[in-house]
Amino acid sequence: MRKKSKQKDLAFQESELAKLLTACGESADFLTFQLHENSPFFIAYFKPLVDPNIVHKDILTIIKQQEVSSLEEIKEKLPIEDLSLTDNVPDIQNKLMTGHLLFYQKEAQSACLAVPAPAVEKRQVSTPETEYVVTGAKEAFVESINTNLNLVRKRLPTPGLRTKELTIGKLSKTKVIVAYIDGVANPENVNTVIQRIQGIEYDAVSDSAVLSQMIADNKNSPFPQLINTELPNHVASVLSEGKVAIFTDGSPFVLTGPVSFFTFFSTAEDYVSIWNIASIFRLIRLFAIAFSILATSTYVAILTYHYEMIPQDVLSLLITSRGTIPFPPFLEAILLELAIELLREAGARLPTKIGQTIGIVGGIVLGTAAVQAGLTSNVLLIVVATGALASFTTPVYQVSNAIRLIRFPFLLFAQLLGLVGVAVGFAFLTAHLLKLTSLNHPFLEPIYPLRVQDFKDSIFRLPFSKQALRPIQIRAENPVRFQPETPPKNDWDIDD
Amino acid sequence: MLPLPPEKRQVSPFFVFYLITSAQIGMGILSLPRYIVKSAGQDAWIAIIITALSIHVILWMVYQILNKGTNDITVTHKELFGKWLGGLLSLALIVYLLLVAASTLRGYIEMIQVWIFPQLDTWYMALILSALVYVYVIGGFRVVVGICCLSFIFNFPLIVTLWFPLQDAQFSHLFPVFDHSAAEILSASKKMTLYFSGFETIFFFYPFIKNARSSQKWAQYGAAFTTFIYLAVTIISIMYFNKNQLIQTIWPTITLWKVVDFPFLERFEYLNLAIWLFNILPSTCLFIWAATRGIKQLFTVKQKHSLIVLLVIISVAAVLLKDREQIQQLNTMLSSVSFYVMYAYIPFVFFYQLIKSKVRKTL
């Protein structure tokens, strides 16, 4: 009898399962024990991954109270869904690593029972941090993918909302869910996204922003080609437009695409405001970005090379302001731009309260001191500060970063060739934007290729009654959002 | 012979409008009024209309030639004249386009040297412009069309600012009408051919247009728009300057912009000369793209390789043109070449093709 069990033991030790268990046993937080003395069953799990409440209340109490003789019997008796009996070792490994309890016998080639008891740690759904909205829904995504999906499904209660689950990263095994509305989204877009995600060869994908860089069309562009958002509202609205959303487990941001350059200027709030106000605000944002890129370089170009362009009245103002400055305009501008970047970086890295203090100290105290000391002119200070403010008007954080970067080459071009240099820089930027695509759709749409129909929700935001058709850029499978009412005949008269 | 480009490389027919206008309007418009006023006086606008009408007819011929062919002009040449003679003709056309591109590039550099930076080295500016052209052409035909299309928007301030000189314009300068002999007006028309050249690139980009046959309408509109701009600039110049002033001003159009006066900005021509980059860039890109495409058809050289070689050649050519006189010589030479290309070569190919197909039918 004893001999037999020893033989069994030996056979078991050579099995794949035993190797897995010994490998796991190297970690201090891995537990394995016999159910009770003389019981043929053993239990194994990672302590931090399982919820102790489930283990104690729902599993151990039930199993210990009753006599069990086989794994099937345990399976029947446990009041838990989704139990699986398997002898596939990679599968077992997966289950162990995702918070399952393992029941096994020390017998060769025997199956194991995996009982799910995952411990779920998650943050409560709270208000958005980066895309603040004054009016409109204030729920924001959290790190748990299930909660995020729940937030979106709640807003789109249709079975047409399809999800495809993918796992990426050899080590991180990150769960990624591609969501789209069947019959609305273009299957080609969905396939492009899925293929690109499947093509990722990387060990640990930690965030949606990382994923976004890996599946971007042009990986060297400073402009994001998929926009990430933390607003479930926004995701629901772009899904209904026919776009694709990509959820990444562990990230409170959801990627949406395909996007165009003009998506950078649209906020969730545009849809809450009246259309004419929203359209004006969009134009202001567009103007602000152009100003932010061009203002400092134009100032440098004009003051360095084309002072004839400055009218006499303005010239006297500039002379009093710049008369004692020892640096050329280029150096002065670079110094101030760098100072602003310093403030931004410091403000972003520090906790909110200290960040605010730093902002005030840096902005007001340093600025005033620099002007009084005669290091910079206050006109340039105004230009640089307005440019910095303007760069924050876009609701997409990555875009304001991109603009932050682009300004420096423009300054350099302005110093080299004056206004012609600014034009050359702009031509390079245009070339880049013309070549850029988002999920193989042109980026500068609807300006190029020119699609006047798409102006209704890109540069402007026209009233909802005009939005009967989905944007052409996305090439939605079903381009019609709703059948517009046929307008009444135009035969009205005053006081009729 | 290359296969026809796939659909994703093609563009919609209405883009031909932008292609034709941006190919035609280049450096010429800045000096145009002076040249034609020299011979036709206040009747210069009649000369423009005469040339423009002839251009519409030639454009129609170009479309007839291409519609009968199967691909671009190199293939048509080969079918009509055989491998060697046809190839030689295509090569001549390519060299012509390159010369126009070089002249445009050098013209812009010259203007920057005269108006903004007298000390600017030609090679330095040529290098920057070549880099720009490279960045665009390497992106393919769609990107070249893109810059043509966007330039159309960027150039808008140039047209709008013509409002300022118009306020001081003297309407009486236009009278008496028909004061010049037909010979004088025709000689002005002849001088203008170079200003309308550029639409020959259609010989090369024709297969890249979806439903290319239906694009003729847009090409004609494009040529008409060019005429409109030329007419506007010329008439405003005639009304603003007196005749002697106009003849002595090398670039009257720039002087017109000099009048623009905002409370925050004066001497608008500096800004407009910077924006002018978006006028010469699309046409240069289009010419160079057409040349690389033609070379690929003839010698099966990869476009990305020939592009670099052509840019080097053009930059060297630009540096070799040292002063105003040499640039003027090149332009005068190109002017007569483009006259023969338009009024001799294109009709010749058109009639030759027509007769050949008639003969084939009767046989």
Distance (Å) from the C-alpha of residue A318 to the closest C-alpha of chain B?
A: 12
- Residue A249 counted as domain residue: yes
**Three-state secondary structure of chain A:** CHHHHHHHHHHHHCCHHHHHHHHHHCCCCEEEEECCCCCCEEEEEEHHHECHHHHHHHHHHHHHHCCCCCHHHHHHHCCCCCCEEECCHHHHHHHHHCCEEEEEECCCCCCEEEEECECCCCCCCCCCCCCCCCCCCCCCCCCCHHHHHHHHHHHCCCCCEEEEEEEECCCCCEEEEEEEECCCCCHHHHHHHHHHHHCCCCCCCCCHHHHHHHCCCCCCCCCCCCEEECCHHHHHHHHHHCCEEEEECCCCCEEEECCCHHHHHCCHHHHCCCHHHHHHHHHHHHHHHHHHHHHHHHHHHHHHCCHHHCCHHHHHHHHHHHCCCCCCHHHHHHHHHHHHHHHHHHHHHCCHHHHHHHHHHHHHHHHHHHHHCCCCCHHHHHHHHHHHHHHCCCCCHHHHHHHHHHHHHHHHHHHHHHHHHHHHHHHHHHHHHHHCEECCEECCCCCCCCCHHHHHECCCECCHHHCCECCCCCCCCCCECCCCCCCCCCCCCCCC
8 Å CB contact of B265 and A306: no
Of all residues in chain B, the percent with pLDDT exceeding 90 is 56
- The residue among A225, A259, A293 that closes a domain is A259
8 Å CB contact of B132 and A431: yes
Distance (Å) from the C-alpha of residue B238 to the closest C-alpha of chain A?
A: 26
Task: Answer yes or no: do A15 and A101 share one domain.
Answer: yes
Tell me: pLDDT of B54 over 90.
yes
Q: What pLDDT shows up at residue A6?
A: 62
Compute the distance between CA of residue A260 and CA of residue A426 in angstroms, rounded to an integer.
19
- Residue B71 counted as domain residue: yes
**Residue A465 backbone dihedrals phi, psi, to 5 degrees:** -65, -20
> Closest to B147 (Cβ–Cβ): which among A305, A308, A434?
A434
Distance (Å) from the C-alpha of residue B55 to the closest C-alpha of chain A?
A: 27
- Residue A100 counted as domain residue: yes
Overall average pLDDT of the B21-40 stretch? 87
Of the listed ranges A126-130, B58-62, B359-363, the one predicted with least confidence = B359-363
Task: Answer yes or no: do A355 and A225 share one domain.
Answer: no
> Closest to A420 (Cβ–Cβ): which among B116, B149, B261?
B116
> How far apart, in Å, do the first and last CA atoms of chain A sit?
106
Q: What pLDDT shows up at residue A128?
A: 87
Say how many residues make up chain B: 363
Task: Judge whether B20 and B202 are in contact, CB under 8 Å.
Answer: yes
Overall average pLDDT of the B17-34 stretch? 89
> pTM for this structure?
0.90
The verdict on whether omega for the bond into residue A471 sits within 30 degrees of 0, i.e. cis, is no
Per the prediction, chain B carries an average pLDDT of 90
8 Å CB contact of A444 and B116: no
Task: Judge whether A260 and A445 are in contact, CB under 8 Å.
Answer: yes
Q: What pLDDT shows up at residue A82?
A: 80
Q: What pLDDT shows up at residue A5?
A: 58
Q: What pLDDT shows up at residue A170?
A: 87
Q: What pLDDT shows up at residue A452?
A: 85
DSSP-based three-state secondary structure for B248: helix
Report in angstroms the alpha-carbon separations of B284 from A253, A421, B122, B194: 44, 18, 17, 15
Task: Answer yes or no: do A283 and A371 share one domain.
Answer: yes
Tell me: pLDDT of B210 over 80.
yes
> Closest to B143 (Cβ–Cβ): which among A419, A424, A434?
A434
Task: Answer yes or no: do A255 and A281 share one domain.
Answer: no
- Residue A456 counted as domain residue: no
Distance (Å) from the C-alpha of residue B189 to the closest C-alpha of chain A?
A: 33
- Residue B62 counted as domain residue: yes
Task: Answer yes or no: do A338 and A302 share one domain.
Answer: yes
Compute the distance between CA of residue B343 and CA of residue B197 in angstroms, rounded to an integer.
11
The verdict on whether omega for the bond into residue B13 sits within 30 degrees of 0, i.e. cis, is no
Compute the distance between CA of residue A141 and CA of residue A119 in angstroms, rounded to an integer.
20
- Residue A31 counted as domain residue: yes
Q: What pLDDT shows up at residue A430?
A: 94
Task: Answer yes or no: do A298 and A432 share one domain.
Answer: yes
Task: Answer yes or no: do A195 and A105 share one domain.
Answer: no
- The residue among A259, A283, A307 that closes a domain is A259
8 Å CB contact of A431 and B147: yes
> How far apart, in Å, do the first and last CA atoms of chain B sit?
27
Range of the domain at B135: 7-348
* pLDDT (tens digit per residue) in A331-388: 999 999 998 888 888 888 888 778 778 777 777 888 888 888 888 888 899 999 999 9
Range of the domain at A285: 274-442
* Chain A interface test: which of B16, B124, B132, B280 (most A C-beta within 10 Å): B132
Task: Answer yes or no: do A207 and A245 share one domain.
Answer: yes
Task: Answer yes or no: do A175 and A228 share one domain.
Answer: yes
- Residue A419 counted as domain residue: yes
Report in angstroms the alpha-carbon separations of A54 from A50, A78, A86, A100: 8, 11, 21, 11
- Nearest by Cα to A106 from A4, A9, A33, A21: A9
Number of structural domains (chain B) is: 1
Compute the distance between CA of residue A288 and CA of residue A282 in angstroms, rounded to an integer.
10
From the CB of residue A7, how many other CB atoms can be counted at a distance below 10 Å? Answer: 11
Predicted complex ipTM? 0.94
∠ CA A436-A440-A446, nearest 5°, is: 65
- Nearest by Cα to A135 from A240, A233, A235: A233
Q: What pLDDT shows up at residue A211?
A: 92
Q: What pLDDT shows up at residue A8?
A: 62
- Residue B2 counted as domain residue: no
- Nearest by Cα to B27 from B257, B175, B195, B241: B195
Number of structural domains (chain A) is: 3
Q: What pLDDT shows up at residue A1?
A: 45
- Residue A35 counted as domain residue: yes
8 Å CB contact of A427 and B149: no
Compute the distance between CA of residue B105 and CA of residue B284 in angstroms, rounded to an integer.
7
Task: Answer yes or no: do A75 and A206 share one domain.
Answer: no
Compute the distance between CA of residue A263 and CA of residue A282 in angstroms, rounded to an integer.
10
- Residue B361 counted as domain residue: no
> CATH code at B13?
1.20.1740.10
Please report, in tens digits, the pLDDT of each residue of chain A (496 residues total).
Answer: 455 556 666 667 677 888 888 888 888 888 888 887 777 888 888 888 888 888 888 888 888 777 777 788 888 888 888 888 888 888 888 888 888 888 888 776 677 888 888 887 788 888 888 888 888 888 899 998 999 999 999 999 999 999 999 999 888 889 999 999 998 999 999 999 999 999 998 888 888 989 999 999 999 999 999 998 999 999 999 999 899 999 999 899 999 989 999 988 888 888 888 999 999 999 999 999 999 999 999 999 999 999 889 988 888 888 888 888 889 999 999 999 998 888 888 888 888 778 778 777 777 888 888 888 888 888 899 999 999 999 888 888 888 889 989 999 999 999 999 999 999 999 999 999 999 999 999 999 888 888 888 888 888 888 888 888 888 888 888 888 888 877 777 787 888 7
8 Å CB contact of B147 and A449: no
Q: What pLDDT shows up at residue A421?
A: 95
- The residue among A259, A285, A304 that closes a domain is A259
**Sign of the C-alpha dihedral computed for residues A284, A287, A292 and A293 taken in this order:** positive
* pLDDT (tens digit per residue) in B314-345: 999 999 998 889 998 999 999 999 999 999 99
8 Å CB contact of B139 and A314: no
Task: Answer yes or no: do A387 and A295 share one domain.
Answer: yes
Q: What pLDDT shows up at residue A397?
A: 85
Task: Answer yes or no: do A299 and A435 share one domain.
Answer: yes
- Residue B55 counted as domain residue: yes
Q: What pLDDT shows up at residue A7?
A: 64
